[in-house]
């Protein structure tokens, strides 16, 4: 009798805690929406139970159609998981080998197709450039560009470049082997077996309800994208897919590991990124963008925790919202998301060096601290990455260095500074700051890998 009473007390206590967490997450999401920082759908699971889900905002730029949990969203690069999983399924069935060359499946391509393997496509180490988004408008355009390309940017396997040409070729290889359109393969072999009954590949306006993406000026994005094969999902669908990956419903642990781990530090894999302990996934994180669509999946299988964020009005803050949700679930304090500081620099950074940007940063902070997120390390980090992504490494280093002084206890800011020095080929300083990042955050596997590699040179 006492054991039964104790059990009921524990269950009741956990239920009360869960209700309180759901209420706090709901408050966070509604405040974020009122600030114009989130328009979309949310699903949060903890201890393998859905704790919270909601749809907030509108499905159209005219603010006439409220979002519902039945609305589907494009998920950008996360949809590349479907072709990566499809390739590994065919490999498990003995229908292809990862060492096979592209030329074995797609005839009529230049000589480079004899040196690019399927594994190179999965790891984005093919040497193919990304799509020329200004000139390609269809699969036919992409195929013609590939036929016209005579040289690769680098020897396959020797470097890394995130390229949608790799994705395009994966999908064509699946079609060649299965004899069915890629979209049909996804629907029959991936979506339906996983119980994703609402998901649709390459949706049109007829596939209602579909969330239409729009910018802050309420201008709509096109629904059809230049490259075909993009799966749009509901939050419930997405959760089904995440569980299928975590429980190895489609792939073995070994084949999952192949597309969960990237080919090196600061790279992406077919599943985005994550970690495994023996034959168990311990972490799976993937984000994706397509125009103003943005999605984030953060899965922590050992705790039965999953956070899914889908938006059709990208604000660049999904990681920040996830951090707040994770803090609520852990019973820790959190920061209310604010507008990203980088938006205040829109169109200005190209004309400013790092010192000028820091001066402007201080001026803007004095005027907009209440509305924009100047209190978070991401404010300067985003500026630094803008410079780094435009190959202005010295400016990036100045910004990141200032950030380490503002946030000396953050491993992430030292990781960013180490990355900038690493890209500059300054291995001495890269090692110095990656070591500092690892000392502050022992879970930083990228920093550990780079420290090990640089220490051995």
C-alpha to C-alpha distance for 186 and 179, rounded to whole angstroms: 13
C-alpha to C-alpha distance for 51 and 104, rounded to whole angstroms: 48
Would you state the pLDDT for residue 2? Answer: 59
Same domain, yes or no, for 182 and 272? yes
Same domain, yes or no, for 364 and 322? no
| Residue 248 maps to a domain | yes
Same domain, yes or no, for 229 and 247? yes
Same domain, yes or no, for 103 and 241? yes
Q: Is 12 left (phi over 0), alpha (psi -120 to 50) or beta?
A: alpha
Would you state the pLDDT for residue 102? Answer: 98
Of 181, 2, 174, 192, whose CA–CA distance to 95 is shortest? 174
CATH code, domain with 353: 1.25.40.10
CATH code, domain with 216: 3.40.710.10
> What total of structural domains would you count in the chain?
2
What residues pair up with 55 in beta bridges, in sequence order?
41
Query: Residue 222 gets which letter from DSSP?
Result: P
| Residue 447 maps to a domain | yes
- Cβ–Cβ under 8 Å, residues 231 and 82: yes
* Residue-number span of the structural domain to which 363 is assigned: 338-455
Same domain, yes or no, for 297 and 371? no
C-alpha to C-alpha distance for 215 and 222, rounded to whole angstroms: 12
Would you state the pLDDT for residue 11? Answer: 45
C-alpha to C-alpha distance for 188 and 245, rounded to whole angstroms: 17
Distance (Å) of CA 128 to CA 113, 117, 134, 139, 359: 10, 12, 17, 16, 40
C-alpha to C-alpha distance for 85 and 89, rounded to whole angstroms: 6
- Cβ–Cβ under 8 Å, residues 79 and 287: no
Same domain, yes or no, for 397 and 315? no
- Cβ–Cβ under 8 Å, residues 86 and 189: yes
Other residues' Cβ atoms within 10 Å of the Cβ of residue 258: 20
**Terminal-to-terminal C-alpha distance of the chain:** 66
- Cβ–Cβ under 8 Å, residues 411 and 444: yes
Same domain, yes or no, for 442 and 411? yes
Same domain, yes or no, for 121 and 263? yes
Instruction: State the DSSP string of 339-404.
Output: B-GGGGGTTTGGG--HHHHHHHHHHHHHHHTTTB--SSTHHHHHHHHHHHHTT-HHHHHHHHHHHH
Classify the C-alpha dihedral 75-78-81-84 as positive or negative.
positive
| Residue 407 CA from chain centroid, whole number | 25
Same domain, yes or no, for 139 and 201? yes
C-alpha to C-alpha distance for 193 and 341, rounded to whole angstroms: 43
> Which residues contact residue 135 at a Cβ distance below 8 angstroms, ignoring those fewer than 6 apart?
141, 145
- Assign 3-state DSSP to the chain and report helix, strand, coil percentages, each to 5: 50, 15, 40
Half-sphere exposure of residue 172, counting CA atoms within 13 Å on the CB side? 21
C-alpha to C-alpha distance for 411 and 419, rounded to whole angstroms: 12
| Residue 37 maps to a domain | no
Would you state the pLDDT for residue 12? Answer: 47
Residue count of the chain: 457
Element of type H or E holding 433: helix 427-440
| Residue 39 maps to a domain | no
Same domain, yes or no, for 291 and 194? yes
| Residue 119 maps to a domain | yes
Of 266, 294, 328, which residue sits at a domain end? 328
What residues pair up with 283 in beta bridges, in sequence order?
275
| Residue 13 CA from chain centroid, whole number | 35
| Residue 205 maps to a domain | yes
| Residue 437 maps to a domain | yes
pLDDT along the chain (457 residues), means of 10: 54 67 97 93 98 98 97 96 98 98 97 98 95 88 96 93 95 98 98 96 92 93 86 98 98 97 86 95 95 96 98 92 96 85 80 93 85 81 88 95 95 94 93 94 80 83
Would you state the pLDDT for residue 374? Answer: 80
Encode 94-114: b = buried (16+ Cβ within 10 Å), e = exposed: eebebeebbbebbeebeebbe
Would you state the pLDDT for residue 241? Answer: 98
| Residue 395 maps to a domain | yes
Instruction: State the DSSP string of 230-286.
Output: PEEE-HHHHHHHHHHHHTTSSS-HHHHHHHHS-SSTT--BTTBEEEEETTEEEEEEE
Same domain, yes or no, for 268 and 377? no
Of 422, 72, 444, 365, whose CA–CA distance to 232 is shortest? 72
Question: Helix (H, G, I), strand (E, B), or coil: what is residue 114?
Answer: helix
Would you state the pLDDT for residue 229? Answer: 95
Same domain, yes or no, for 250 and 372? no
């Amino acid at each position: 009798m006492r054991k039964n009473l104790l059990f009921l007390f524990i269950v009741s206590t956990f239920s009360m805690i869960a209700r309180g967490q759901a209420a706090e997450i709901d408050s966070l999401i509604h405040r974020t929406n009122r600030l114009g920082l989130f328009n979309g759908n949310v699903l949060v699971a903890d201890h393998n139970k859905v704790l919270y889900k909601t749809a907030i905002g509108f499905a159209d730029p005219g603010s006439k159609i409220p979002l519902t949990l039945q609305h589907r969203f494009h998920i950008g690069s996360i949809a590349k998981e479907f072709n990566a999983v499809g390739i590994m399924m065919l490999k498990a069935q003995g229908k292809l080998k990862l060492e096979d060359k592209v030329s074995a499946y797609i005839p009529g391509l230049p000589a480079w197709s004899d040196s690019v393997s399927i594994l190179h496509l999965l790891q984005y180490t093919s040497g193919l450039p990304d799509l020329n988004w200004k000139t390609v408008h269809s699969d036919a355009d992409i195929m013609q560009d590939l036929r016209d390309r005579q040289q690769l940017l680098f020897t396959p396997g020797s470097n890394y470049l995130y390229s949608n040409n790799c994705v395009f070729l994966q999908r064509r290889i699946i079609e060649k082997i299965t004899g069915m359109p890629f979209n049909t393969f996804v629907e029959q072999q991936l979506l339906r077996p996983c119980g994703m009954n609402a998901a649709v590949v390459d949706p049109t306006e007829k596939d209602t309800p579909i969330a239409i993406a729009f910018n802050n000026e309420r201008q709509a994005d096109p629904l059809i994208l230049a490259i075909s094969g993009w799966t749009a999902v509901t939050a419930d669908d997405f959760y089904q897919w995440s569980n299928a990956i975590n429980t190895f419903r489609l792939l073995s642990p070994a084949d999952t590991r192949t597309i969960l781990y990237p080919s090196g530090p600061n790279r992406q894999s077919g599943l985005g990124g994550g970690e495994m302990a023996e034959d168990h996934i311990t972490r799976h994180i993937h984000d994706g963008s397509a125009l103003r669509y943005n999605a984030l999946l953060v899965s922590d299988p050992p705790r039965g925790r999953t956070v899914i964020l889908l938006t059709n009005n990208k604000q660049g803050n999904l990681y920040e919202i996830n951090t707040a949700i994770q803090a609520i679930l852990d019973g820790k304090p959190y920061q209310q998301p604010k507008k990203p500081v980088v938006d205040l620099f829109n169109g200005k950074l190209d004309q400013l060096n790092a010192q000028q940007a820091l001066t402007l940063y201080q001026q803007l902070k004095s005027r907009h601290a209440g509305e924009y997120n100047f209190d978070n390390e991401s404010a300067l980090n985003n500026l630094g990455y803008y410079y780094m992504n435009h190959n202005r490494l010295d400016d990036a280093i100045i910004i990141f260095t200032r950030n380490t002084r503002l946030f000396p206890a953050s491993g992430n800011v030292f990781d960013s500074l180490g990355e900038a020095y690493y890209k500059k080929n300054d291995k001495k300083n890269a090692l110095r700051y990656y070591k500092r990042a690892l000392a502050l955050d022992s879970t930083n596997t990228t920093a550990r890998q780079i420290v090990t590699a640089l220490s051995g040179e």
